[in-house]
Structure 1
């Protein structure tokens, strides 16, 4: 069992630092990324041979108190993201709104939700635009970051809509996300981002992030 292997490799000093870094929101075993990748490697290699994504495996890991187990679940899902099906959007939504913090949300948004929306573009109208106005801040952040890795495939009309829905939000994680997605897109389309920044009243944080490469 992966949890037993992780417990055997716990590091209390690392755990204190990692917990503090995440504002004491989660318990940690103190296993840093390189060791985590090493410890999970064989298990995920075997799991990757399965035809379907093992949602029970993901849920099991998500239910553990130690944050590293959620990271293992995400490492697994990212490796298996090509196997995601349209109906998995609701499964992914449950992960977004449970044990939510930027460390899981950003991977889920850019890799999993992004992958689903590329494969099933209709999900943007069916889910993402609604999420951009949801009362749950992490669903809104997800909606903003969904196209983070789309580059030339970015749908600017959608990007504009999800940003406009949140442009007056004072939440740090929302303002940061707006700036981040604009900054990334500026690497592909500097002109569009420049015009958007000029024509919209972004927060100072969002504008600073967005303008980094302009």
Structure 2
């Protein structure tokens, strides 16, 4: 079975990650208590557990076949696993390969997705995120869209714990679902995510507004950017600056107004990211303001 994040932290991480992924069928066998939807009927439960076990075994084997120790070494440094990466383990699979595998598997059942998103292996969580995003994009059923959103924010969110997992799913699921739902947008963006002590929740909040920007709505981006002026984390500054830059591409006047009000208070990296599409002269002007 895929190991949870908690159990991962108790293990040593100096092993060869490609060897670490070679788990037996017994290790992969999920616990019945992890799947609320399983019936109490022993026969039905046994069949579903067997199906999950086979599915996970195949996924692990396919990922391992694409793994590269050299790539794993590079990605381990790239994702700074000893810092914000929280000891993440990468086996060295390229994103296009993970995406191709996800597409080939079709839409995975929630039972398997729940196991994958708890994995200590980055690529397994990445596959779960890609699969859910694809599932969300390919349905028009309001009931199913609500189900996917709830699954993401309530059961997947803890496993969405690095910047690439956030940036490849927040706008596509959270933003896309909340863009026309003012009644619950306030609850999720401001009352739950933006005020969370968890850095990835706050990043989900600001990145999700990129979906609103695409639809010509900037208010939430501006409000959250103002909130995050005082955030202590560099990764939030980068995400906020990047999102402001995207807003500026749609409405430069809106970004200029924000900069005129807040450039002096903006963290340097946030300011720099927001100015990337400005002329050199304009960038210099606001960077000088930011030094004061």
Q: What is the TM-score normalised by the length of structure 1? A: 0.86
Q: How big is the shift at 1:36?
A: 2.6
Counterpart of 2:116 in structure 1 is 61
**In 2, distance between residues paired with 1:28 and 1:167?**
32
Q: How many equivalent pairs are there?
A: 207
1:71 aligns with 2:133: no
Check if 1:20 corresponds to 2:81.
no
Q: Which residue of 2 aligns with 1:86?
A: 146
Cα distance in 2 for partners of 1:139, 1:31 equals 26
Q: Distance in 2 between matches of 1:39 and 1:155?
A: 35
Match of 1:50 in 2: none
* Equivalent in 230, 235, 242 of residue 180 of structure 1: 242
Structure-to-structure mapping, 1:74-153, within 5 angstroms: 74-82=129-137, 83=139, 84-86=144-146, 88-93=148-153, 94-98=155-159, 100-118=161-179, 120-130=181-191, 131-153=193-215
Residue deviations 1:150-175, cap 9 Å, x none? 33524332222212222111210111
Larger radius of gyration: 2
* Cα distance change on mapping 1:155 and 1:41 into 2, 3 Å: closer
Which of 94, 102, 105 is the matching residue for 1:32? 94
Q: Indicate if the aligned counterparts of 1:81 and 1:115 stay in contact, CA closer than 8 A.
A: no
Runs of at least 5 residues in structure 2 that lack an aligned partner in the other structure = 1-57, 82-86, 279-292
Which consecutive residues of structure 1, in runs of 5 or more, have no partner in the other structure? 48-52
Instruction: State the Cα deviation string for residues 110-146 of structure 1 (Å, max 9, x = none).
Output: 2111111135343311211112122222111111111
The worse-fitting range, judged by mean Cα deviation, of 61-70 and 84-93 is 84-93
Q: Is the 8 A contact 1:133 1:166 kept in 2?
A: no
CA RMSD after TM alignment: 2.1
Q: For each residue in 1:5-41, what CA deviation from the matched residue of structure 2 results, as whole angstroms up to 9, or x when unmatched?
A: 2223322222222222212332122111233333333
Q: 1:209 — aligned with what?
A: 273
